[in-house]
Amino acid sequence: MRLLDAVLRRGDPLEAALPAATRDLREANDRGLAHAIAAETLRRLPDLDALIDSATRQPLPEDAKARTALRIALVQTLALGTPPHAAIATVLPLVDGGPRKLVHGVFGALTRAGVALPAVPTLPAIVGDRWREAWGEEVAQAAAQAIAAPPPLDLTLADPDGLAPEGVVLAPDQRRLVDPAPVTQLPGYAEGSWWVQDVAASLPARLLGRGPGAALDLCAAPGGKSMQLAAAGWDVTALEISPSRAARLHENLARTRLPAKVVIADALDWSPAAPVDALLIDAPCSATGIFRRHPDVLYRAHAGVVAEMAVLQARLLDRAAAWVRPGGALVYATCSLEPAEGEEQLARFLSAHADYRIDSPQAGELPEGITLHADGYVRTLPGTLADAGGCDGFFIVRLVRASA
């Protein structure tokens, strides 16, 4: 209940809310179950609410405790396989001294009626309306379908011949595992031969090719792309504003034994000592492209958040454009399904920076199934790589600065 309140009322990310919301749960398994219940509730919220509303005379207020308790009980029974008596027994204490009878009655009526959740979840209106307008009905349907189950696990290998679990080979250095064991138990984890990274998230660093040379990763933590650049032979500076996220970057570099100089600073106040050969801006964004793994973004990515992020992205791009040596490359990427954070950001940048042009990837630079847009950038959407289990939504463009 605390987790759902943090996401839906306060707009916090689910992962960030976890430590405080589960502070009374001592066992890791219990914290894992709380997370699973909250995440599954967020995947299924519009459909759970439709069921609840079908069984009450008047719709319960959005933030009523009774609605939250019913969401939690129903999602366990209808999606997580918890027996009804156990699901209701765990939520009734949440409404003690309050609408206990109502919760018990509505839950009982719905379970006796044998209700079920639809095979394809309903997209919440906040993103559904925007995505239908931007990408059309087919993509919106693919997004809804993608919410139904957690996605496969993708790994990026530091060395294509390194120790890694068996899986589908999406690129020589990219494996996909369906229904894997816990990450820390997989072969090669302890040796640091790979890290978890969706295939779409592996594209930005891939487009910078191989070193030697100086590469600056401007928004670096937790470090997936910095590690890729280091593994490709670049001399990497990894800049990150958040000390706690930079700590995770340090841990990841230590585990994989990949070298990078970590700088904790705000890219809007900091400058490099010399221009770089390769610049990666994996900018902070609404993160709507990673909704399969983080269903909370479906409820946090209001239009205002997208607009605010687009302003920050433009400031980062405009400032860092001067840090690339003539002839050097700049890759701009966001894990967002919002044109304002991708296509529109690119158009604005090109009109303001005549010294940059798009450098379209050549045949063989992209994994099979990832196609290039006619304008020379890469846009992955729900439905991309559908036969292989899909991928995150990303916008990626490689730009080159004119030689002096």
The yes or no reply on residue 306 touching ligand SAM (CB under 6 A) is no
Of all residues in the shown chain, the one whose CB is closest to ligand SAM is: 219
| Residues 401, 355: Cα–Cα separation, whole Å | 6
Give min distance, CB of 85 to ligand SAM, in A.
43
219 a known binding residue? yes
CB of 218 to ligand SAM, least distance (A): 6
392 is a site residue for ligand SAM (CB under 6 A)? no
The answer to whether residues 361 and 372 touch, using CB atoms and an 8 Å cutoff, is: yes
Q: What count of other Cβ atoms lies within 10 Å of the Cβ of residue 30? A: 12
Ramachandran class of 390: left when φ > 0, alpha when ψ lies in -120 to 50, beta otherwise: left
Q: Give the sign of the dihedral formed by CA 297, CA 40, CA 5, CA 25.
A: negative
* Nearest to ligand SAM of 22, 336 (CB atom): 336
CB of 228 to ligand SAM, least distance (A): 8
Nearest residue (CB) to ligand SAM, 268 versus 307: 268
Q: Say if residue 282 carries a ligand binding annotation.
A: yes
328 binds ligand SAM (CB under 6 A): no
Among 121, 124, 152, 223, binds ligand SAM (CB under 6 A): 223
Residue 230: CB minimum distance to ligand SAM, A: 12
Where are the extended beta strands (E) located within 65-109? none
Taking the least distance from each CB to ligand SAM, the nearer of 40 and 154 is 154
287: left (phi over 0), alpha (psi -120 to 50) or beta: left
Is residue 345 helix, strand or coil? helix
Query: Given CA atoms 145, 146, 150, 152 in this order, what sign does their dihedral have?
Result: positive
* Torsion from C-alpha of 122, 127, 130, 135, nearest 10 degrees: -70
Q: Which of 121, 124, 152, 224 binds ligand SAM (CB under 6 A)?
A: 224
Asked if 335 is an active-site residue, the reply is yes
- 339 is an interface residue for ligand SAM by CB under 6 A: no
The H or E element spanning position 357 is: strand 356-358
State which of residues 222, 295, 367, 390 lies at the interface with ligand SAM (CB under 6 A). 222
Under DSSP, is residue 108 helix (H, G, I), strand (E, B) or coil? helix
Number of shown-chain residues binding ligand SAM (CB under 6 A): 17
Applying the rule CB under 6 A, the residues between 225 and 244 that interact with ligand SAM are: 225, 239-242
Q: Is 308 a residue that touches ligand SAM (CB under 6 A)?
A: no
State the Cα–Cα distance between residues 80 and 323, nearest whole angstrom: 50
Which residue in 132, 143, 115 sits closest to 291, CA to CA? 143
Q: Is 389 in the site for ligand SAM (CB under 6 A)?
A: no
- Helix, strand or coil, per DSSP, at residue 271: coil
The answer to whether 393 contacts ligand SAM (rule: CB under 6 A) is no
Looking at beta carbons only, is 222 or 367 nearer to ligand SAM? 222
The answer to whether 1 and 69 are in contact (CB under 8 A) is yes
Residues 161, 163, 166, 172: is their CA dihedral positive or negative? negative
Q: Which residue is catalytic, options 37, 87, 281, 335?
A: 335
Please report where in the chains the tokens 């990219």 appear, as a residue: 174
Q: Tokens 């129903």 sit at which residue?
A: 74
Quote the least distance from Cβ 143 to ligand SAM, whole Å: 20
Shortest separation between residue 59's beta carbon and ligand SAM, angstroms = 37
Bond prior to 93 in cis (omega within 30° of 0)? no
Of 268 and 402, CB closest to ligand SAM: 268
Under the criterion CB under 6 A, does residue 178 sit at the interface with ligand SAM? no
Q: Would residue 209 be called left, alpha or beta, if left means φ above 0 and alpha means ψ between -120 and 50 degrees? A: left
Question: Any idea which residue has 């463009």 for tokens?
Answer: 397
Under rule CB under 6 A, residue 289 binds ligand SAM? no
**Whole-number Å distance between alpha carbons of 181 and 167:** 12
245-284 residues in contact with ligand SAM (CB under 6 A) are 245, 266-268, 282, 284
Q: According to CB under 6 A, which one of 91, 220, 298, 320 is a site residue for ligand SAM? A: 220
Question: If binding is defined by CB under 6 A, does position 206 make contact with ligand SAM?
Answer: no
- Residue closest to 348 by CA, chosen among 309, 402, 305, 311: 311
Name the residue nearer to ligand SAM (CB basis): 103 or 155. Answer: 155
Shortest CB 274 distance to ligand SAM, Å: 19
- Is 318 an interacting residue with respect to ligand SAM (CB under 6 A)? no
Catalytic residue set: 335
List residues forming the annotated binding site for S-adenosyl-L-methionine: 219-225, 240, 266, 282
Return residues touching ligand SAM (CB under 6 A). Answer: 219-225, 239-242, 245, 266-268, 282, 284
